Amino acid sequence: MDPRRGKATGTASKARTAPSKVSAQGVKGPREEPSESPSATGAARPNARKRSAVGASGSRRKSSPPASPETPQVRARGARAKKGPLDAEDAVEGQAVPAAKPPHPRAPSRRRGSARAAGEQRPPPEPTEGPGFGPRVSASGSAPGAWNPRAVLEKLRLRRQEISLAAETVNPVIDHLLRSLKSCDSEFKDVALLRTGSYYEHVKVSVPNEFDVMFKLEVSRIQLEEYRNSGAFYFVKFKRNPKGNPLSPFLEGEILSASKMLCKFRKIIKKEIESIKDVTVEKKKKGSPAVTLLFRKPKEISVDIILALEVNTSWPASTKSGLPIERWLGTKVRNSLRQQPFYLVPKHAKEGNGFQEETWRLSFSHIEKDILKSHGQSKTCCEINGLKCCRKDCLKLMKHLLEQLKIKFEKRKELEKFCSYHVKTAFFHVCTQKSEDSDWQTRDLELCFENCVTYFLQCLKIEHLEHYFIPGLNLFSRDQIDKISKEFLSQEIEYERNNGFPVFHKC
């Protein structure tokens, strides 16, 4: 297995020195040019406003315990149909796609009363220009496309109880697995739970029968070799270690073999699960980095266990100008986040018509969790004594929208490759553009949600959704998702928007 040596210069590292202005008047679209970053990036931004929330040390404020009483160990998978990709970059190309349906008839926009044509660039939404200047448009009741976002959110809130119940079934088994892995003298004896994902971010909206769990394993003295110019995929090598390398059984030449490692991981889990009633391990799925547990009672639940390597070195060069939160959360916060470890999950990179089976993909789910938790410029945003914003509600609604559409079109192929990670990524970009807390006042929920939808639509239209951490990676490139699928989703979202989101009432 000879890894092709990818040039270490991702496109990401170039051309990011001149930050463009962050659009202050509404989300106009992700970027002027598809290849350019919409937002100010780059580590050093002399003009970046300081974030009052950050202490002198530059470290983030301490995380408080989760607000909700449950302490789930599982995270629920995001908008994913049964066969949906694990994550954005999981997308596999090359399936035949039926032609898109003709556009739906459009109802007049409830807000402006003007119909928008399918391919037409939508005018920027009414600006929330600067703090608090947004028009307080509320379409409560009368207009044709009227809908009530709060009622939808309430429904999602109720669903969380169901999710907690499901977690009660899953958690003891995960605990048992962790204990067994730690006690047996295997290469995995140092695994720990990585508490990331929508469950911990409190934005979980998906059906409560699918969960993700990440088991992390710290690795040291490794060297990463970027796979081609992917920015996201790497081969893992080890530096010489006189004490020996605990993972040496998984070496393939000098490369840490993701497939070998997963195989053993799977074997141990399978053996442990054998003794547990009503739980089985699903047959290995080609290309999937997860070991999937199937619970049969009290109801069917599937749990993906994902092995993640924890790396405590500086982040790879491809991330250098990613995480554009300087104006939103501040440079100090950004620096301190970038001092946290990063993770690698086993994930095949696409290679011609096949896959490179030994690659690992970057994961920043812990950072995503962190910025979702401490998402305000004011450190008290959404805390008991602070002002409440609608950022998380917008994300929940966005996730719900995609999820519902995926359910609606489950039989078709077009939405298979879209996942909640796409929505989340777009949401983060909107947060970057609308960095002020006053851009997200709860009374503007509807407008803010519409801004998010607009941004997402723009990304679909220009086929560009920049990975939030790896700017050189376009999650909507044609080799990730074909154009027809993007057009299809675009049309469906526009239809929803113009008709008061009827899909929200289907659950």
Which is nearest to 447 in space by CA: 100, 118, 129, 167? 129
Q: Does 203 bind Zn ion (CB under 5 A)?
A: no
Q: Could you say whether residue 376 binds Zn ion (CB under 5 A)?
A: yes
Report the C-alpha gap between 421 and 465 in whole angstroms: 11
User: Closer to Zn ion at the Cβ: 430 or 481?
Assistant: 430
Q: Does 381 bind Zn ion (CB under 5 A)?
A: yes
**Minimum separation from the CB atom of position 473 to Zn ion (A):** 28
281 binds Zn ion (CB under 5 A): no
3-state secondary structure 429-462: HHHHHCCCHHHHEHHHHHHHHHHHHHHHHHHHHC
Dihedral angle over CA of 350, 355, 360, 362, nearest 10: 20
Kindly report the backbone phi and psi dihedral angles of residue 91, in degrees, each rounded to the nearest multiple of 5, phi listed first: -50, 135
Shortest reach from residue 477's CB to Zn ion, in Å: 32
Of positions 291, 382, 423, 481, contacts Zn ion by CB under 5 A: 382
Q: Is 329 in the site for Zn ion (CB under 5 A)?
A: no
The reply to whether 439 sits near Zn ion by the rule CB under 5 A is no
331 to 370: interface string for Zn ion, x by CB under 5 A:
----------------------------------------
Q: Is 68:494 a contact under the CB 8 Å cutoff?
A: no
User: For Zn ion, which is the closer residue by CB, 377 or 491?
Assistant: 377
The answer to the question of residue 294 lying near Zn ion (CB under 5 A) is no
In angstroms, what is the minimal distance from the CB of 431 to Zn ion?
10
Number of residues that bind Zn ion (CB under 5 A): 4
Lookup: tokens for 205 = 């909206």
Q: Omega before 298 cis (within 30°)?
A: yes
- Over the window 130 to 169, marking each residue x when it contacts Zn ion by CB under 5 A and - when it does not, the resulting string is ----------------------------------------
Amino acid code (one letter) for 303: V
Stretch in the footprint of Zn ion (CB under 5 A) among 81-89, 223-231, 252-260, 372-380: 372-380
Residue 427 found at the interface with Zn ion (CB under 5 A): no
> Is 395 a residue that touches Zn ion (CB under 5 A)?
no
Could you tell me which stretch among 52-60, 364-372, 388-396, 476-484 binds Zn ion (CB under 5 A)?
Answer: 388-396
Q: Express the helix, strand and coil content of the chain in percent, nearest 5 each.
A: 30, 15, 55
User: Residue 102's CB: how many other CB atoms inside 10 A?
Assistant: 8
Q: Is-contact 22 435, C-beta < 8 A?
A: yes
Does 507 sit near Zn ion (CB under 5 A)? no
Binding region for Zn ion (CB under 5 A) out of 194-202, 310-318, 377-385, 441-449: 377-385
User: What stretches of 19-148 show up as alpha helix (H) in DSSP?
Assistant: none
SS3 of 330, please? coil
**Nearest-angstrom CA–CA distance, 468 and 150:** 28
The yes or no reply on residue 389 touching Zn ion (CB under 5 A) is: yes
| Of residues 205 and 382, the one with the C-beta less far from Zn ion | 382
Least distance in Å: CB of 387 to Zn ion?
A: 7
The reply on whether position 431 binds Zn ion by CB under 5 A is no
Interface with Zn ion, residue 371, by CB under 5 A: no
- Return the number of the residue (273 or 431) whose C-beta is nearest Zn ion: 431
Helix (H, G, I), strand (E, B) or coil at 291: strand
Ramachandran region, residue 447 (left: φ > 0; alpha: ψ -120 to 50; beta: rest): alpha
CA nearest 451: which of 491, 407, 403, 397? 397
Piece of the chain touching Zn ion by CB under 5 A; list 254-262, 308-316, 384-392, 491-499? 384-392
Is residue 492 a contact partner of residue 417, using CB atoms and an 8 Å limit? no
Please say which residue, 43 or 381, places its beta carbon nearer to Zn ion.
Answer: 381
**Contacts to Zn ion by CB under 5 A:** 376, 381-382, 389
